[in-house]
Amino acid sequence: MTLDEDLAKAIAVDYEEAPITAAERAMLDYAGKLTADATRIGPHDHVILRTHGFDDRAILQITLIASWFNYINRVADALGVGRGA
């Protein structure tokens, strides 16, 4: 989370080009891979996160939060939440 609107906008447009840390980039890479196809996540992905300072608890939290957002967005999409009447 950030209160820096410019940073938030840069992350939303293209996090790979945003001025974030290597650890933040690794976390977002992982979340993106999980979102695209969670079956492609494996031990190597966890090793990458660990090399950036994330421990098992942090990896679990990243996984749970990204998965929850994926879930809730699919529920909202299926129910038409946010679509005009």
Amino acid at 57: R
- Name the burial class of residue 49, with classes exposed (0-12), middle (13-18) and buried (19+) by CB atoms within 10 angstroms of its CB: buried
Average pLDDT over residues 57-84: 94
- Evaluate if residue 1 carries a pLDDT over 70: no
User: Which of 51-65 are b and which e, b meaning 16 or more Cβ less than 10 Å from the residue's Cβ?
Assistant: eeebeeeebeebbee
Which pTM value belongs to this model? 0.85
pLDDT in tens, 3-55: 789 998 999 899 999 999 999 999 999 999 999 999 999 999 999 999 999 99
Q: pLDDT tier at 61 (50, 70, 90 boundaries)?
A: very high
